[in-house]
Amino acid sequence: MVVLVGILMSIASVSGQHPLRADTDGDGMPDGWEVEHGLNPNNAGDASLDYNDNGLSNFQEYKEDYDPWDRDTDEDGLSNYAETTGLFGFFTDPLAEDTDDDGLDDLEEICININTGNETHMWELYPNDADRAAVKDKIASIREKYHYKLNPTNSDTDYDGLNDGAEISNEANPTSVDSDGDGLRDGDEVYVYQTDPALRDTDGDGLTDAEEIFGSYGFVTDPTEEDTDGDGISDGEECLSFGFVPIAPSRYAVSYEDFISENGYVNESITLKARVDTIKYGVGQTNYTIYLKSLESDMIGGRRGVAIVKSSWHYDLEYGMMHVDDRFKLCLYEGDTIVIVGTAKRTEGSTREIMVESGGKLYLVLSPEEARKRWLPSNEYVKIFSKQKDTTPLPSPTPTPTLTPESSPPSTSTSSLGDANETTAPTPAPTPSPTPNPAPTPTPGPMDNLKKSVSGLLGYGAFGLIIVVIAFFLYTKVGRQVGKRRKDKKKQKDTGGSDDAPLPEMPAIRETGTKKEWS
């Protein structure tokens, strides 16, 4: 026992540590921890010192289980000194690898500001790595990936609602509010519309995301769906060139002028855009005929196109005896723009027909203003566009149309983009040279038709009233005569006369000069 005490006393005399105390200097740090980390267990003054420039005293480092000599406490590649002194332009947190919590390390955000030729800068990068050449290679690699000037203390450098890390992961630009230039903030694209902030046209339908969301062409569509209404026509085709690209089941789009001037595509399904001239409804209410005219002109002369619609129809009494197609739920007026999908027939005389049968389609094209002013039985076959492009159908060399022997090959302007099932976005065709258009024919609205119907009903009512008055007058006149004769007969019976007794003679009239007098 005496020997053990002697040994302990000898150790204490050599090291200066108290053999029975865990913290000889009473600085709050155990002697063993201080010895392990190179501190003096006999000097309480080193507890308040900061040897690695991270803003923590040695005592705090002990409490947080940090190494008081580690020059990069958060291991983000930046020395504590560089972070606390703003060496690279920003004061960052030496205890947080990602100061602004945006998903990017502090070094990744400020690497563009580092001068690899500056030895002072380089010494403060990966300070614990002995291989300085390897450090330079690391920085070059990081700068290649993160080449934006970001702010490591601001999670959203461009204030677009999407943090810098999310923008990098979405391949967007963290320094641009609208990375893809589609008119939408990157943050809104990700969190509101679920679109791609790096793609102008997320669904690839030919319309930018903003054009679809805000209805730039008069029709709000889903920017994440190529065909919002599921009708087999991409949103871009419907908005930008509806009627000038084939609509299934047709394989060709033909301009009205080419349709009436040539005999191509006989018995082929085509898409045709034109305007309504007049409409004749079949007696049996099983079909009706639409006489067509050009989109650009009201002139009707020479050849003309006619659409035979094999669809039943009815009168809508509630809205003024208006004709309503039972299949397409359309009520057409003269001057309407329509798109027809049907079978082209051969020209007969000066008329060429397009048959709209069970597989055909009929669309009504309106502007938002027109749509607001008229009654629509249904919107299923109504396309509302604020910008209608009257362009020539887009050219495509294949497939070759079926021609009749006497016809010449159709102009390439009558062909289309190709099969309607293709998902590639259409490129709008060049607009033809402008020609003076005549004043547009006013399109009758539902109130106009209602006024006509009311006027007609009032006319019929007035005529009927006259008939009733005449009938009442005749009835009254005849009734009086019959009543008088019945009274005379009754009087004769009461006096003993017979029904056949002659009526009393009227007194004779004598003439005196020019004056007639009773005798």
Q: What is the pLDDT of residues 297-327, one digit of tens each?
A: 877 668 899 999 999 999 988 877 889 999 9
Work out the mean pLDDT of the chain and round it to a whole number: 76
Q: What is the pLDDT of residue 390?
A: 45
pLDDT at 142 over 50: yes
Domain membership of residue 456 (yes or no) is yes
104: containing domain: 80-145
Q: Are residues 334 and 397 in the same domain?
A: yes
Q: Quick one: tokens of 348? A: 């007969």
Q: How far is CA 375 from CA 193, 213, 345, 378, 453, in A?
A: 32, 26, 33, 9, 15
* In the predicted structure, residue 259 carries a pLDDT above the cut 80: yes
Confidence band for 479, pLDDT divided at 50, 70 and 90: low
Whether the pLDDT of residue 345 is over 90: the answer is: yes
Query: Are residues 184 and 209 in contact, defined by beta-carbon separation less than 8 angstroms?
Result: yes
User: Could you tell me if 346 and 420 lie in one domain?
Assistant: yes
Q: Are residues 440 and 451 in the same domain?
A: no
Q: Give the separation between CA 477 and CA 480, rounded to whole angstroms.
A: 5
The answer on 261 and 133 residing in a single domain is no
Distances (CA, A) of 438 to 260, 279, 297, 442: 21, 21, 7, 12
Is 36 found in the same domain as 88? no
Question: Which pLDDT score is estimated for 442?
Answer: 46
> Confidence band (pLDDT; 50, 70, 90) for 485?
low
pLDDT at residue number 518: 40
Q: Is the pLDDT of residue 502 over 60?
A: no
Q: Say which range, 32-46, 304-318, 403-417, 499-513, has the weakest mean pLDDT.
A: 403-417
Average pLDDT over residues 41-60: 74
The answer to whether residues 440 and 380 belong to one domain is yes
Q: Are residues 120 and 30 in the same domain?
A: no
Same domain (yes/no): 472, 434: no
Strands (E) across 426-513 are located at: 509-512
Banded model confidence at residue 21, pLDDT cuts 50, 70, 90 = low
More confidently predicted of 332 and 419: 332
Count structural domains, the chain. Answer: 4
More confident residue, 514 or 349: 349
Domain stops at, among 145, 162, 182: 145
pTM for the whole structure: 0.45
| pLDDT one-digit tens code per residue, 75-113 | 888 888 888 888 888 999 888 888 998 999 999 988 888
Structure confidence at residue 306 (pLDDT): 97
* In a shared domain, residues 330 and 366: yes
Query: Same structural domain for residues 434 and 299?
Result: yes
